[in-house]
């Protein structure tokens, strides 16, 4: 594992064969070294277009600074009022909502269906934190423009991230439904428990990482982990009617609810507050207590969805086009 030997990063350049025109660069790093957004920006900074990208960021910062300096006194005062309203009232709403999520989700929906092997043997209560096999896969499902078009037609207020969350939550619901049909249910090995089906939740929680600086490394900043997080409650597959019934209407209702719930969280300072809280805990609290808090702070979320914005145009390394940049944990 990365970091076990003291090294926090490792880079490998691979060619399939001497005549192959494709080169694969594999970069592994510990999460303490950098977050995904910062790492992606740093890789762009190493490209042939790196200088132009840095200049674009600096020019945008200057533009915003000039626009802010030209604001009237009244506009600055209203901005200061909105700032305090956002942090004080928004912070209260954020912590209240997260408490609600903790109360509504006392257990991760996958805890009862963790299995030891491919034969679907139900795990015992001592094995729910076991290590399971992992896999990595990727595909190009659609263009960004296509996703935007779908969002505008199904739910005009939805964002690309809302579409991703809606699709993922539906897939989670289908996966839970499949486990309900194939698993004997429960974490106990007694016969009575094996006859009990796993209850399908109507909603699941999703964690969404948020970069505190909009996905860029500001001038003078070094790489680091500047990720906050927010948790939202989103619908999983409907349990009160067949999945195949009225699929278009169901998709619209799902996306609308996902958009509303995520929008509520996005309007609060929870991402910044989560980062501040995590930093305070890691700096001043005992390590065992920090691990417990970190493990339970996600409100038993069923999945994490990270949306990383890439460059609008393809970049190059030493004149070679970077066709794909794929990140995974």
Lowest mean pLDDT of 164-178, 183-197, 278-292, name the range. 183-197
Q: Bridge-partner residues for 10, per DSSP? A: 28
CA 30 to chain centroid: 17
pLDDT (0 to 100) of residue 131 = 54
CB 226 within 8 A of CB 35: yes
Banded pLDDT at 18 (limits 50, 70, 90): low
Q: What is the mean pLDDT of residues 271-300?
A: 90
Residue 13 to residue 27: CA distance in whole angstroms: 9
pLDDT (0 to 100) of residue 87 = 92
- Condensed to tens digits (0 to 9), the pLDDT of residues 21-31 reads 778 888 877 77
Lowest mean pLDDT of 110-119, 188-197, 235-244, 299-308, name the range. 188-197
Residue 109 to residue 178: CA distance in whole angstroms: 13
- Whether pTM > 0.85 for this model: the answer is no
Angle 247-266/73-104 helices, nearest 10 degrees? 120
């Amino acid at each position: 594992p990365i970091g076990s030997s003291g090294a926090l990063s490792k880079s490998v350049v691979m060619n399939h064969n001497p005549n192959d025109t494709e080169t694969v660069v594999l970069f592994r790093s510990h999460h303490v070294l950098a977050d995904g957004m910062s790492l992606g920006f740093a890789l762009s900074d190493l490209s042939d277009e790196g200088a132009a990208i840095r200049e674009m960021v600096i020019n945008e910062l200057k533009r915003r600074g000039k626009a802010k300096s030209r604001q009237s006194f009244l506009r600055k005062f209203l901005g200061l009022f909105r700032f305090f309203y956002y942090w004080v009232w928004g912070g209260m709403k954020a912590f209240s909502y997260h408490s609600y999520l903790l109360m509504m989700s006392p257990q991760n929906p996958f805890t009862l269906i963790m299995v030891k092997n491919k034969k679907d043997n139900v795990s015992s209560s001592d094995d729910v934190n076991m290590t399971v096999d992992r896999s990595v896969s990727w595909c190009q499902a659609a263009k960004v423009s296509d996703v935007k078009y779908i969002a505008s037609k199904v739910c005009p207020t939805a964002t690309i991230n809302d579409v991703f969350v809606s699709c993922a939550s539906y897939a989670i619901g289908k996966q839970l439904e499949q486990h309900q049909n194939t698993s004997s249910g429960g974490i106990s090995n007694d016969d009575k428990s094996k006859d009990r089906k796993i209850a399908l939740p109507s909603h699941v929680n999703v964690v969404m990482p948020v970069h505190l600086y909009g996905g860029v490394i500001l001038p003078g900043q070094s790489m680091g982990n500047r990720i906050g997080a927010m948790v939202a409650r989103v619908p999983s597959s409907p349990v009160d009617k067949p999945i195949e019934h009225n699929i278009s209407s169901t998709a619209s209702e799902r996306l609308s609810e996902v958009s509303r719930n995520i929008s509520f969280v996005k309007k609060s300072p929870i991402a910044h507050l989560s980062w501040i809280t995590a930093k305070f805990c890691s700096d001043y609290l005992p390590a065992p207590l920090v691990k417990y808090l970190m493990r339970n702070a996600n409100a038993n979320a069923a999945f994490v969805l990270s949306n990383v914005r890439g460059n609008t145009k393809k970049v190059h390394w030493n004149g070679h086009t970077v066709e794909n940049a794929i990140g995974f944990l």
